[in-house]
Structure 1
Amino acid sequence: MNIPGLPNFRDLGGHRTSHGTVIAPGALFRSVDLSRLEPAGGEALGALGIRRIIDLRTTVEVEKRPDRLPERMSSRHLDVLADAGAAAGAQVGRIMEDPRRLTEVLGGGAARDRMAATYRDIVSMPSALRSYRELFLGFAGDAGAGGVLFHCTTGKDRTGWAAASLMLLLGVDEDAVTEDYLRTNADLLPAMQPVLDRFAGQGGDPDVLLPVLGVQEEYLRTALDEVEVRFGGIRGYATDGLGLTEQDIDRLAAAVTVDAGSGGGGLR
């Protein structure tokens, strides 16, 4: 789906669950932030029936690069990394400040280690648990409110976990979840080439940025391992971690899935 100003944008609709349903097309969308959304992109979002935006970025990120909200769309801010402190929101912005130094800091596997730590945080950090709870309850809310677009900065980590954990909770096969998660590399990395080029031009090694700017299956596996250790699985993550009731989970499934044979679109 080509939305001007939104690389890594896609509809989660069509993924089959183990309960004879599919995620409804037009219900849930994921993307990068909307700070570069072009007017034509805003019109395209409206045409898709999107009415609500949920922003998973830090306050620092939101203030630095506020979303360009199309008309008739509401927005809600859920700061997943609030408990990580203000430094978390500035992390991406510091990438270009000292490429040589950053090459040293992120080299030798350090970038992957840092990403693994981030994924453990977005599973277990209190602010993350609060934010994902509210996100899922928002998905389960007013079925007549239109489609929901959720995003962070590049739509790959906080957003990637939101999509992956939701799909797993709904009963989507783990292989399909992983495939959707890794699709970010094809959808996002080409748009990040100018960043890599500038980084190289200033003396940095762009190879050390790839683990940070893209996604790897081991990151998702780290998150799932954290879920297993702390909560005993995805259902325990939802109930014990996020504090969702069985009724909440049923409402969520009813709001964002349709019978596999119905071919329905949008929220039911």
Structure 2
Amino acid sequence: MRDLGGIPVVGGIVRPRLVYRSASLAKLDGPDEAAFARLGITTVYDLRTAAERDGAMDHLPEGTRTVWLDVVADEPDNIAANIPTLLADPAALEHTLGEGRADKYLADANRALVSKPSARIAYRRFYLDLIDEQRTGAALFHCTTGKDRTGWAAASLLLLLGASQNDVRSDYLQTNTDLAPALQPILDALTAQGVNIALLQPILGVQDSYLDAALNEVHSRYGTINDYARAGLGLTNQQIDALRNRFVSTA
């Protein structure tokens, strides 16, 4: 997980210690749970499907509020939401991702994060809850691996706050560095089971092309990121301003 605070935006920086992104919190315990509690995170936005949550519910400090936003509810075949199923079936993995199909699937999946109805509904609720005056404390959002649904939540948020596309891309790609140590034991175990892990690289990390696919979808369907927020998510100019007022520090 990481704090989005400190990233430069027009007129200032993202306020530190107010909004975080992460992978699943299902195994949060011990010293990590105590460290999490000290961050003052009072709301967690869970972007996973019901199937992903089943048996892997977030383990959170008592009193933490959870908001469930199923981004891919109308995409039952979304790869990001079906990684565990694919890993359990090497033949299905090869059929789905082999011969260069993985990159296309991931690009399509990231375009869908911008345009599919369930995604637009989920991200609209995400933004409206973020700016709710009754909500206090810091917020965190996550999916399972914290890279696609979470990646677009972070990218769109940073762009709406006024971050440059270069800084947004830098945060987006940072996920590869953050995930690598946690994924290596999994990859080693899968190799021992005979799984072709070369097929997994596109779905266990992020690439420039995935972010580009989402940004191109924004531009082709709506125009600017603000147009996406207004026409795609149904946010008003006042609500977009409220987002900036809450999360941008000009000091």
| TM class, shorter-length | over 0.9
Report deviation, 1:127: 0.6
2:138 to 138, 147, 162: 147
Q: Given the alignment of the two structures, is residue 138 of structure 1 paired with residue 148 of structure 2, yes or no?
A: no
Give the equivalent residue in structure 2 for 1:189. 180
Asked if residue 27 in structure 1 is aligned to residue 25 in structure 2, the reply is no
Q: Would you say how many aligned residue pairs link Structure 1 and Structure 2?
A: 251
Per the normalisation by structure 2, the TM-score is: 0.95
Residue of structure 2 equivalent to 1:258: 249
Do the aligned residues in 2 keep the contact of 1:60 with 1:89 (CA within 8 Å)? no
2-structure distance, mates of 1:82, 1:127: 6
Query: 1:105 Cα deviation (Å)?
Result: 3.2
Distance 1:146 1:229, change over 3 A: same
Q: CA deviation at 1:69?
A: 1.6
Contact 1:99 1:202 in 2 (8 A): no
Q: Which residue of 2 aligns with 1:166?
A: 157
For 2:73, the equivalent position in structure 1 comes to 82
Other-structure match for 1:232: 223
Displacement of 1:121 in angstroms is 1.0
Could you tell me which amino acid in structure 2 is paired with residue 17 of structure 1?
V
* Change in 2 beyond 3 A, CA 1:73/1:232: same
Find the aligned partners of 1:199 and 1:156 in 2 and give their Cα distance. Answer: 20
Q: Which sections of structure 2, spanning at least 5 residues, go unmatched?
A: none
Aligned-pair identity in percent equals: 45
CA distance in 2, matches of 1:89, 1:230: 23
Contact 1:61 1:89 in 2 (8 A): no
1:208-227 pair list within 5 angstroms: 208-227=199-218
Say yes or no: does 1:156 pair with 2:147: yes
The answer to whether the aligner puts 1:176 opposite 2:167 as a matched pair is yes
User: Secondary structure in 1 aligned to 2:110?
Assistant: helix
Asked whether the 8 Å contact 1:140–1:253 carries over to 2, the reply is no
- Residues 125-159 of structure 1 deviation map (CA, whole Å, 9 limit, x = unaligned): 10100110111111112376100011000111000
CA contact (8 A) 1:31 1:155 kept: yes
Aligned mates of 1:110, 1:78 — CA distance in 2? 28
**1:97 correspondence with 2:97:** no
CA contact (8 A) 1:57 1:89 kept: no
User: CA distance change for structure 1 residues 88 and 205 in 2, over 3 Å: closer, same or farther?
Assistant: closer
Q: Identify if the C-alpha distance between structure 1 residues 107 and 257 changes in structure 2 by more than 3 Å, giving closer, same or farther.
A: same
Q: 2:18·2:247 contact (CA, 8 Å) conserved in 1?
A: yes
Matched residue type, 1:191: A
Give how far 1:86 is off: 7.4
User: Is 1:15 equivalent to 2:32 in the alignment?
Assistant: no
What is the rounded CA distance, in whole Å, between the counterparts of 1:208 and 1:161 in structure 2? 23
Question: Within 2, Cα distance between the matches of 1:225 and 1:97?
Answer: 33
Whole-Å Cα distance in 1 between the matches of residues 158 and 81 of structure 2? 30
Alpha carbons of 1:108 and 1:77: their partners in 2 closer, same or farther (altered >3 Å)? same
Aligned AA for 2:243? L
Which amino acid in the other structure matches residue 18 of structure 2?
A
Q: Structure 1 residue 249 and structure 2 residue 240: aligned?
A: yes
1:99 is displaced (CA, Å) by 2.2
- Structure 1 distance, partners of 2:18, 2:161, is 14
2:40 is aligned to 49
User: Which amino acid in structure 1 is aligned with residue 222 of structure 2?
Assistant: F
The answer (yes or no) to whether the contact 1:81–1:88 under 8 Å persists in 2 is no
Contact (CA 8 Å) 2:80, 2:148: kept in 1 or not?
no
How much has 1:13 moved relative to structure 2?
Answer: 0.2
Q: In the alignment, which residue of structure 1 is the partner of 2:51?
A: 60
Which residue does 2:196 correspond to in 1? 205
